A and B are shown apart, each in its own frame.
Chain A
């Protein structure tokens, strides 16, 4: 079936540094999402993105976070600067214009040290 690819699967970054998480969404999908899951806790919505703009964001989507999808390529989540509490698994997701089903990637585990 359709797949959302996330690269890399695990990233370790020094606190205060910038990190960019990359997501290759399903081809022809129009809606894109980022979710955050701290180990052992429930999945939390961060942001959704459509037509080049952020549609909605949660309280967890801090000012240090930004998303973009330049030229229809990767959908990225950038964190600058990173903090220890940003350590989590970040899941990218996408859906088509009908938004009937949301497809998730396998996540990128971010460890901030």
Chain B
């Protein structure tokens, strides 16, 4: 068990709505990354937060936004949902990646989002 938790586990939304997904990091981890995993594909990097600041972003539009809180928990917000946003959303917490913390990236179980 990694200690990374995500809520909710499943969610159904309709096109055009907004959604907020939550992630609670492993104790002691100050970096959180969010990934989108579509069916049959590998996880795709959305963005990373380090000490409450965005620290890298993948090829996702601005309607994907995030927050990291002082306790290093995090939120992923998606506005104006589209059908293609249906996917498993994974968060991963880690120690500072720049300090060689790659191997300490622990993934949560994910939130499965269905957009109708």
Asked if chains A and B come from one complex, the reply is no
